[in-house]
């Protein structure tokens, strides 16, 4: 009979935080790579601001990285609405993952337990 390795809940949380932070960092890097196209970059920043405003409403201004990861698990539900209502532009749905990840990357810096 094969044994299953069970992670301690805290270890599982650390893995999910590290995985999410990797996604967020990748999204932010993709955002920054758009700087040479000023118009597109400005639109993306507006969309990031829309997601960030909703993120602030979701988790508040005092939060941990785990709370941010929990909000990230549900971003598909509210992130699309935030951009559609506050900062839509032609083709914005194809940029949604980049925008959401960049917003989370930037917002994570305010977490009580953030470490670069």
pLDDT (tens digit, 9 = 90+) per residue, 17-42? 999 999 999 999 999 999 999 999 99
Percentage of the residues of the chain whose pLDDT score is greater than 70: 88
Q: Is residue 13's pLDDT more than 90?
A: no
Asked whether residue 10 carries a pLDDT value surpassing 90, the answer given is no
Distance CA 101, CA 116 (A): 16
Q: How much is the pTM?
A: 0.87
CA distance 16 to 53: 23
Q: Is 102 strand, coil or helix?
A: helix
- So what's the pLDDT on residue 58? 93
Among 115, 108, 114, 113, which Cα is nearest to 52's? 108
Average pLDDT along the chain: 90
What span, in angstroms and rounded, lies between the C-alpha atoms of 30 and 105?
12
Token pair listed for 47: 């969309």
């Amino acid at each position: 009979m094969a044994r299953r390795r069970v992670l301690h809940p805290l270890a599982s949380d650390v893995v999910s935080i590290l995985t999410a932070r990797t996604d967020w960092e990748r999204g932010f890097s993709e955002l920054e790579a758009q700087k040479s196209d000023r118009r597109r970059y400005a639109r993306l920043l507006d969309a990031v601001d829309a997601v960030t405003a909703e993120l602030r409403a979701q988790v508040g201004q005092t939060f941990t990285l785990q709370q941010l990861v929990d909000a990230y698990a549900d971003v598909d539900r509210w992130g699309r609405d935030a951009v559609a209502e506050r900062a839509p532009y032609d083709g914005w749905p194809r940029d949604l993952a980049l925008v959401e990840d960049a917003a989370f990357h930037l917002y994570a810096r305010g977490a009580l337990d953030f470490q670069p």
